[in-house]
Structure 1
């Protein structure tokens, strides 16, 4: 049901209501199915012409997160982000330094994906 590069909605925890992308397939851990996801903690906002350069850079800011999550707390969607996260080397996220390096790589990939297709569903605010 959950496959790589699929966009999901998180239903529980700190990131509830936020969209994320699966970057690592299912694995069983202590009797539960777990996937590694990356998502946007802060989505870019629209930029207008009358803004200063500082305001524009703040509006375009993207902040990502990486998390291992139980599939019970995810809702599958019909959307995918194909060929975006192929370059991400999934590392051990229990090591903080590796996790921060991976997060920086993911933020760069999200930034390029936003520049290529700013109207993609993952970059829009979730309406509840």
Structure 2
């Protein structure tokens, strides 16, 4: 059976505080390591989703309602459920570059994680604001799935 947990796959978190939230799989490690004795992966997800915007709202209110909150987490691969959606290569490359600037050892540092989250939040919020209109069937608009709140 082939690997389906490849970088760029949109996943749904199944356990922990972020359960029910959507995330992007950045790196998947199928083998256990010295730090983690289980298959693990690095995910970047959306903790607080953007809210609905109407034509009547001003620019300041639109900017405030389209902000989002991001989380970065290293977790067991059994605690995520892959979806059929994948992030486009350009977006994945940009997110991965921002994460790789911070070394893995520095990810445990609170200040570095905070700075990285802030950086990713700005990038993903801008990505959300420039999404093309269209349905989920459109290849370019598949990232729209990431920014919509999961209802169940």
User: 1: distance between equivalents of 2:68 and 2:14?
Assistant: 21
Moved more, 47-56 or 76-85: 47-56
State TM-score, norm by structure 2: 0.75
Alpha-carbon distance between aligned partners in 1 of 2:37 and 2:52, rounded to the nearest angstrom: 43
Residue 33 of structure 1 corresponds to: 39
RMSD between superposed Cα atoms in Å: 1.8
How many residues align? The count is 128
Deviations 1:50-95 (A, max 9, x none): 3344432321111101010100100011111122132323333211
Residue of structure 2 equivalent to 1:104: 118
**Secondary structure of 1:88 counterpart:** helix
TM-score (norm 1): 0.88
Larger Rg: 2
- Report which of the two has the higher share of helix: 2
Larger strand percent: 1
| 1:44 Cα deviation after fit | 0.8
List gaps (5 residues or longer) in structure 2. 133-140
Q: Secondary structure of the residue that 1:12 maps to in structure 2?
A: coil
